[in-house]
A and B are shown apart, each in its own frame.
Chain A
């Protein structure tokens, strides 16, 4: 039994009055502490699958199990980091990071203590009282990651969190993300359309076919960390994945 299991997940969307199959019976078993990356073309359904795990979409059939227990609604055991961060502009960085703790009714001193730890981990301490409009895109994503980590979720779900970043910032965050994963031993499912990113981060990379989405190929990546995007030893993995992905782009 894995930490998180997806069993035969199917999902349809209405499009021009027709039922369009988006997820085609996806089965996935993620072990505790795994870093699973999902790559696929834009609009292939990979984000829908992640949102289904998060409980933000309801599958038309199949189920999601966490520690063997079926899940129905969204909840803080599976925290999502959104593509654009989805930070609250009316709260400063610290209050954003503490949001989930606050709605859980955790007292202020305890909240401050927890948020301090993660702000420190994400190198945000000096920005604790800044508002989001004062932050760069990279900083915002750091806050979004800190906000997710304070919840200490069983599974961290990341939906193309680095897609809008410039290459330098992205490379930096890719290294940091690996260190965070090693430090916190979190189970992470990370969706991206960037193959190099997936190869650097993942212990396992899943290639999704274009609509309807299915797991087309699984690639295990057993290589030292922290990995860098320009490491030539990672190129064969990238090639293998790209070879699977290329026919999907044409669909």
Chain B
């Protein structure tokens, strides 16, 4: 990041905190409704000191990684299958579009009935919330592959299985990576939402605890953590992969 961009960002966030502190000092609302930035920071520090925050982050991220991993594997297979076999697209494809419109939170009751209040239930909600985004992007990516790539590979002797691994997935990768990115966003929302409703460990659970204890600063602290992880994953992990892919594939 260029220094002046960084300076703008730091300035912007500093302004928010100053404004926040200003409103708090004006004593419009009581502290148990509108905490000061310092109280939120204190809560964060407390969470770090007794490691409960790290435990929460770790639990949520583990569920996210497993759920997203399942979604990526399943979405890739489903998307490629849809793109290569017209009947699959006409049948399963239409169902996928329908299922994608269901918010992941709406899967929670079913997950509780099927899995009980367990890790598997939360992972199920995470995975199902992300899988269709990966599927649809993979499908679009494979459909948009330059036909010469596939012809050249077949001409050089690639069989269907080799074609999938060595051409379809890499050629569709610019789309697939958007699928991963969307999938991750859905999965992250899904995991936090499911933890809230399951009330079984993780950052979502900590949010719920904050609410039950009437601890507004804890609620806000956890929300900041959720946002921070989001920024980190989007801005660092995905941005780097995307930049590299876009350059190499000649898309910029």
The answer on a CB contact under 8 Å between A80 and B152 is: yes
B209 at interface by CB-CB < 8 Å: no
Known: A82-B148, A86-B148, A103-B166. A132 touches B250 (CB 8 A): yes
B149 at interface by CB-CB < 8 Å: yes
User: Could you say which of A75, A84, A131, A147 contacts B248, with CB atoms under 8 Å apart?
Assistant: A131
The answer on a CB contact under 8 Å between B162 and A56 is: no
Contact with B along A53-69 (1 / 0, CB 8 A): 01110000000000000
The answer on a CB contact under 8 Å between B156 and A99 is: yes
- For B162, the chain A residues whose CB sits under 8 A away are 103
Interface residues in B191-230 by Cβ distance below 8 A to A read none
Contact with B along A4-45 (1 / 0, CB 8 A): 000000000000000000000000000000000000000000
- For A137, the chain B residues whose CB sits under 8 A away are none
The answer on a CB contact under 8 Å between B250 and A56 is: no
Q: Given contact pairs A75-B157, A80-B151, enumerate 16 new A-B contacts (beta carbons under 8 Å).
A: A54-B155, A56-B151, A80-B155, A82-B151, A86-B148, A86-B151, A88-B149, A88-B152, A89-B248, A89-B250, A90-B248, A90-B249, A99-B153, A103-B158, A103-B162, A151-B157
Known: A89-B248, A99-B166. A151 touches B156 (CB 8 A): yes
A86 CA to B171 CA, complexed, in Å: 11
Contact with B along A81-122 (1 / 0, CB 8 A): 010101011110000000110111000000000000000000
Using a CB–CB cutoff of 8 Å, the interface residues on chain A facing chain B are 54-56, 74-76, 78-80, 82, 84, 86, 88-91, 99-100, 102-104, 131-133, 147, 151
User: Could you say which of A82, A88, A99, A104 contacts B171, with CB atoms under 8 Å apart?
Assistant: A88
A147 CA to B158 CA, complexed, in Å: 14
How many Å from the CB of B70 to the closest CB on chain A? 25
Contact with A along B139-160 (1 / 0, CB 8 A): 0000000101101111111110
A54 CA to B154 CA, complexed, in Å: 10
The answer on a CB contact under 8 Å between A82 and B152 is: yes
Closest to B148 in A: A86
- What total of A-B pairs shows CB separation below 8 Å? 65
Closest to A78 in B: B155
- For A54, the chain B residues whose CB sits under 8 A away are 155
Which of B153, B155, B173, B248 neighbours the largest number of chain A CB atoms within 10 Å of its CB?
A: B155
A-B interface, 10 closest residue pairs, ranked by CB to CB distance from nearest: A100-B156, A86-B148, A90-B170, A133-B250, A86-B152, A76-B157, A103-B158, A89-B249, A103-B162, A74-B155
How many Å from the CB of B194 to the closest CB on chain A? 36
B167 at interface by CB-CB < 8 Å: yes
A133 CA to B149 CA, complexed, in Å: 16
B247 at interface by CB-CB < 8 Å: yes
Closest to A100 in B: B156
A82 CA to B152 CA, complexed, in Å: 8
How many Å from the CB of B217 to the closest CB on chain A? 48
- For B148, the chain A residues whose CB sits under 8 A away are 82, 84, 86
User: Could you say which of A55, A76, A89, A131 contacts B156, with CB atoms under 8 Å apart?
Assistant: A76
The answer on a CB contact under 8 Å between A88 and B167 is: yes
